[in-house]
Chains A and B, each alone.
Chain A
Amino acid sequence: MEQPASAYFMEERHDPNETHTLTVLVANEPGVLARVIGLFSGRGYNIESLTVSETESHKHVSRITIVTTGTPMVITQIKHQLDRMIPVHRVVDMTLTGRSIERELAMVKLRGTGEHRVEALRLAEAFRARVIDATIESFVFEITGNTGKINQFIDLMRPLGLVEVSRTGVAAISRGPEGM
């Protein structure tokens, strides 16, 4: 009788992965972020981006925006698992509503002189990035936009003397007059 290599063989699912942006409204209390993050690590879900801040201080409500990837079945699970946590008020799948705006902010530091410096400034202008710090051999640009635009800008900066990048992660809001 042939033995399997491991008794822990799991059948893999091969549904294609999707990327979704979830907005989670939570009670702003100690440990709530740890609960959310622990859920993701404990159940093996991905976090591509995560932003958190209190948004309605009088109601003690914080808003967490999570970008995650997974099969449609996993994405649904993530939403249900989040929703059943006691301090979670609401979970909205911004990707499914199809009417959301996503933005993030990045600060991009460059070091260089001469032609590279001029080129970087030109590109920054094209991307509507602002200079928020400068020395004779460096710049820090501030850029906002969706993830794709920021990725593109960083890629362009790389050969021009990119030193480091700090990004906020994605924040999302729905279009139109209605709130969540």
Chain B
Amino acid sequence: MSDSKPHDPNQMTGAAMIVRALADHGVKHIFGYPGGAVLPIYDEIYQQSEVEHILVRHEQGAGHAAEGYARSTGLPGVVLVTSGPGATNMVTPLADALMDSIPLVCITGQVPTHLIGNDAFQECDTVGITRPCTKHNWLVRDVNDLAKVLHEAFYVATTGRPGPVVVDVPKDVQFATGTYHPPRKSDVHISYSPRVKGDANAIRKAVSMLAGAKKPIIYSGGGVINSGLAASKLLRELVEVTGFPITSTLMGLGAYPASGPNWLGMLGMHGTYEANMAMHDCDVMLCVGARFDDRITGRTDAFSPNSKKIHIDIDPSSINKNIRVDIPIIGDCGNVLGDILQVFKSEAKKPDTKDWWKTIATWRARNSLAYKTNNDVILPQFAIQRLFEATRGHDTYITTEVGQHQMWAAQFFGFEEPHRWMTSGGLGTMGYGLPAALGVQVAHPDSLVIDIGGDASVQMTMQEMSAAVQHELPIKIFILNNQYMGMVRQWQQLLHGNRLSHSYSEALPDFVKLAEAYGGVGFQCSKPGDLDGALQEMIKVKKPVLFDCRVAALENCFPMIPSGKAHNEMLLPLEANDEATAAAFAGGKALV
């Protein structure tokens, strides 16, 4: 057969298009697990070197690893999994990424188009199942649509309020040949155009409100981190120019440095007393990229009752969802903060907040993060503080699982920069931290990456230790081991008459032997005096580590706003004796 036509380089198989599109979007790493319905794509991956594939041990691990990768770099995390169980195992990370606005592009294999709807082997309705836990998803039935859909997927995941997307590609589409094109503007739905620039009028009004404040507060969230490094810089500048106190949600830690003079600590259910009291008593609140969720507000009808509220958010549906605000500004945090700063500098001067700072100083003096020291047993708060001290001077990234240890990490580890703190905020996914650390380490191979975990959480995704060993990713899993699901137990103590139903881990593994079995390194420490030395040893190791830090079994996480209570009804640690606790929770209206 003679072929006189020149070869068109844009003619290729669907599988080749996928790898080509990844390269065109600058993707260096993907996380995945092979299976029947993605074999053509794995075959293409095998034959190139632009995109590196990280093999995990369970698809959920791939998803969280991609989240950690995305959160620590600001780039989209990319996942490749097979049809059926591969896709359903991704549901948790997708839901997690949707709640925390993390950009993920997940490519799933699907059974061939002629078998869809046939209950074929490893078939599931992937777009149906993932529809409520993605920002958008696509099933591609024609290879000639594939390039457009892939480019749109990257665009949708990374613009506006970021989020996870799924592209479901049947196996016959992967094999079929069609025409590829590089990314272009017309790939995107004309109906999708997120608003970046804030309304100038609203910004002007906001500035005059800020300038007239006597008791102001800035409440920032994960949106500032998502907006990029520039947004954090602008936030710091705004704090400096205005002299306002600043607090942040769990997701927003690091946007303003914990060592900064205006930092009040995290707010919310386990936030500091000064942050919550300042939120409650303020007269002007500037909410930047946060969404007034129930862990932040407590009782909504008693939330910051006397303040005027300004809310900057890129997602109009976040406005007035839980709390009515006076000045909504729809736009990208960085962009709007830039405009606010400019107007503030030219038209306003620093308001006098001396009296307000005096009041705040009295709240600070209550020392709401205090705990009783102990020379015999390691207290979890102490462990985090020592870990923080041990990592000073290192290029450190922290991930966490979910529970008490997560709150202690948020309270006692000081974050100085954005993108250094990866945690599952909205969905509260136990098992997030270990694979997330894996993803962070892939993105930052020479940095110190530590997962602060609990003994229960880490066992949910422990299998990824094997992936860490395979890819020589020296992640450090620092386990605060109290042999309980600590936060579950705390709630059972406070709200369920101390009936500790199934919150005790009867048969914990020997974490040191477990680490060794995987080919990593294990540590165990149970004496406060030995901790610093052990931590130094852990940091020196260039292999994956499980650090079994035996801590006080019954320590609880304070301060705490009993849920359903207001910000000024906090329970402080040193005052949380049985009587005060009982009173605080009497007739308690617990949200969850």
List residues of chain A with CB under 8 Å of any chain B CB: 1-4, 7-11, 26-27, 30-31, 34-35, 38, 42, 73, 76-77, 80-81, 83-89
Contacts and interface: CB of A to CB of B under 8 A. Distances in A.
A31 B320 contact: no
Interface string B175-197: 00000000000000111100000
A37 to B, nearest CB: 10
Contacts of A35: 131
B496 interface: yes
A26 B301 CA distance: 36
Contacts of B317: 77, 80-81, 83-84
A89 B191 contact: yes
B131 A34 contact: yes
A38 B589 CA distance: 30
Contacts of B589: 4, 9, 11
A34 B300 CA distance: 32
B189 A80 contact: no
A163 to B, nearest CB: 36
Nearest to A39: B132
A81 B161 CA distance: 13
B131 A38 contact: yes
Interface in B127-143: 127-128, 131-132, 135-136, 139
Given A73-B320, A84-B315, A88-B191, A30 B139 contact: yes
B120 interface: no
B399 to A, nearest CB: 28
Contacts of B135: 86
Contacts of B495: 3-4, 7
Given A8-B591, A11-B300, 10 more contacts: A1-B582, A3-B497, A4-B495, A4-B588, A7-B495, A9-B590, A11-B589, A42-B132, A81-B317, A84-B161
Interface string B288-303: 0000000000011100
A41 B6 CA distance: 54
B131 A86 contact: no
A7 B139 contact: no
A76 B190 CA distance: 23
A26 B586 CA distance: 50
Interface string B150-180: 0000001000010000000000000000000
Contacts of B491: 7
B477 to A, nearest CB: 31
Nearest to B318: A80
Interface in B549-592: 564, 582, 585-592
Interface in B311-351: 315-317, 319-321, 324
Contacts of A89: 190-191
Given A11-B300, A34-B131, A86 B586 contact: no
Interface of B: 127-128, 131-132, 135-136, 139, 156, 161, 189-192, 299-301, 315-317, 319-321, 324, 491, 495-497, 564, 582, 585-592
A45 B156 CA distance: 26
Given A84-B317, A87-B189, A2 B586 contact: yes
B382 to A, nearest CB: 30
Nearest to B581: A1
A26 B191 CA distance: 8
Given A3-B496, A38-B132, A86-B136, A11 B564 contact: yes
Contacts, number: 76
B132 A27 contact: no
Nearest to B127: A31
Contacts of A88: 191
Nearest to A83: B316
13 contacts: A1-B497, A1-B582, A1-B586, A3-B496, A4-B590, A7-B496, A8-B591, A8-B592, A11-B589, A26-B191, A31-B127, A80-B317, A84-B161
A77 B131 CA distance: 19
Contacts of A87: 189, 191
Contacts of A10: 591
A7 B315 contact: no
B132 A80 contact: no
Contacts of B191: 26-27, 86-89
B131 A80 contact: no
A170 to B, nearest CB: 23
Nearest to B578: A1
A80 B496 contact: no
Contacts of A26: 191
Contacts of B586: 1-2
Contacts of A84: 161, 315-317
Contacts of B496: 3, 7
Ordered nearest first, which 3 A-B pairs have the shortest CB separation?
A80-B317, A1-B582, A86-B136
Contacts of B127: 31
B589 to A, nearest CB: 5
A26 B190 CA distance: 11
A80 B587 contact: no
Contacts of B316: 80, 83-84
Contacts of B301: 11
Contacts of A42: 132
Nearest to B585: A1
Contacts of A11: 299-301, 564, 589
B342 to A, nearest CB: 28
Residue among A4, A9, A86 facing the most chain B CB atoms (10 A cut-off): A86
A139 to B, nearest CB: 41
Nearest to A25: B191
B312 to A, nearest CB: 16
A34 B131 CA distance: 9
B128 A34 contact: yes
Contacts of B300: 11
Contacts of A1: 497, 582, 585-586
A20 to B, nearest CB: 16
A31 B564 CA distance: 39
Contacts of B564: 9, 11
Contacts of B161: 84
Contacts of B587: 2, 4
Nearest to A42: B132
Contact of A86 (B139, B189, B315, B321): B189
